[in-house]
Structure 1
Amino acid sequence: MMTSLVLTVIGPDKPGLVELLAQTIADHQGNWLESGMSRLAGKFAGILITEVPADKAEALTAALTALEAQGLKIVTERSAEAEAAAGQSFTLELVGHDKPGIVREISQALAKRHINVERLSTELTSGSMSAELLFKASADLSAAADTDLDDLQDALEDIASDLMVDITLNN
């Protein structure tokens, strides 16, 4: 029997951190399944899912905790993969001048409509015509089959006008 573990990882960025994680997982007969990792503000941060034989899960968790001596902080959680409910999936793309509150406004509109954020990626980039910073966001979203996407689109258009950003919703 296999156990799924979700790991969150953070530490000072340096070469070899992914190899250190991968080797520790492999040493416990684990399998690296999915991950998202980035260098952010000089830190290495990530989240990953690994599967390990149930009788090796505790030993792997202890080995991962021991990596703190090498600068990595790792939180390990057992995962019970929930079955996906029937529904609809769609994406949201946003571009606009950076200002505080953009993520808050969008996430409030989504939460109010019980829309789940499955993946969110944001970045600041320099505008091509000016030196002003542009905020870009991309999100994969899911909702119940009966969710009114026209209502969401209307709410997002109101937010876009208030924040002076462009928001695109794609099915």
Structure 2
Amino acid sequence: MMTSLVLTVIGPDKPGLVEMLAQTISDNGGNWLESGMSRLAGKFAGILICEVEESQIATLTTALEGLEAQGLKVTAERSDTHEACDQSQSFTLELVGHDKPGIVRDISSALAKRHVNVERLTTELVSGSMSAELLFKAEAELLGSADLDLDELQEALEGIASDLMVDISLNK
């Protein structure tokens, strides 16, 4: 029986880390399924899902732990969850505005109060096109219940956007 493992990885960025991780997974009977990885502040960080036979889990996790000697810390967790049922709706959120503390906190609070799950979140600071000021950009893939009132959510987010001086849009 195949089991999914969620791996988190972090280490000083250098060429060959992805290859080293992929080779270790492959050499120990694993199959790389999905991932998201980035270089952040000189570190290589990522999360990925791999599949492995139940009988190979211990061997694979031991091999992954051994990568720490080469600078890559890997944590493995079994995935117990199943995909969300069809009783939900997915949508995206896009945000852009001047950077200031609390943007992610305030937006995520509004989403959590409405039981909206953040499936994926990407944020970055970019230089403004008309000035050298830093702009905060965020893109999120969200999942809410089928009966979630998107108009009410949009109104709540617009209220926050006004206070934060950012632009927010929801797209179905």
Which category of TM-score, normalised to the shorter sequence, fits these structures?
A: over 0.9
Q: Post-superposition shift, 1:150?
A: 1.1
Matched with 1:90 is 91
Instruction: Report the Cα distance in structure 1 between the residues aligned to 2:158 and 2:68, rounded to whole angstroms.
Output: 45
- Structure 2: give runs of 5+ residues left out of the alignment: none
The secondary structure found in structure 2 opposite 1:20 is helix
The secondary structure found in structure 2 opposite 1:25 is helix
Q: Which sits farther off after the overlay, 74-83 or 98-107?
A: 74-83
Q: Post-superposition shift, 1:78?
A: 0.5
Matched with 2:112 is 111
TM-score by length of 1: 0.98
Equivalent positions of 1:134-153 (< 5 A) are 134-153=135-154
Instruction: Report the Cα distance in structure 1 between the residues aligned to 2:83 and 2:169, rounded to whole angstroms.
Output: 28
Q: Post-superposition shift, 1:29?
A: 1.4
Q: Post-superposition shift, 1:84?
A: 1.3
Matched with 2:54 is 54
Instruction: Report the Cα distance in structure 2 between the residues aligned to 1:24 and 1:42, rounded to whole angstroms.
Output: 23
Cα RMSD between the aligned structures?
0.7
Amino acid at match of 1:63: A
Instruction: Report the Cα distance in structure 2 between the residues aligned to 1:63 and 1:49, rounded to whole angstroms.
Output: 16
User: Over residues 110-169 of structure 1, what are the superposed CA-to-partner deviations in whole Å (9 max), with x where a residue is unaligned?
Assistant: 000000000000000000110100000000001110011111011000011000000000
The secondary structure found in structure 1 opposite 2:163 is helix
Count of residue pairs brought into register by the alignment: 171
Q: Post-superposition shift, 1:83?
A: 3.4
Amino acid at match of 1:158: G
- Structure 1: give runs of 5+ residues left out of the alignment: none
The secondary structure found in structure 2 opposite 1:81 is coil
Q: Which sits farther off after the overlay, 30-39 or 83-92?
A: 83-92
TM superposition outliers: structure 1 runs of 4+ over 2 Å: none
Instruction: Report the Cα distance in structure 1 between the residues aligned to 2:50 and 2:151, rounded to whole angstroms.
Output: 38
Matched with 2:42 is 42
CA contact (8 A) 2:29 2:60 kept: no
Matched with 2:23 is 23
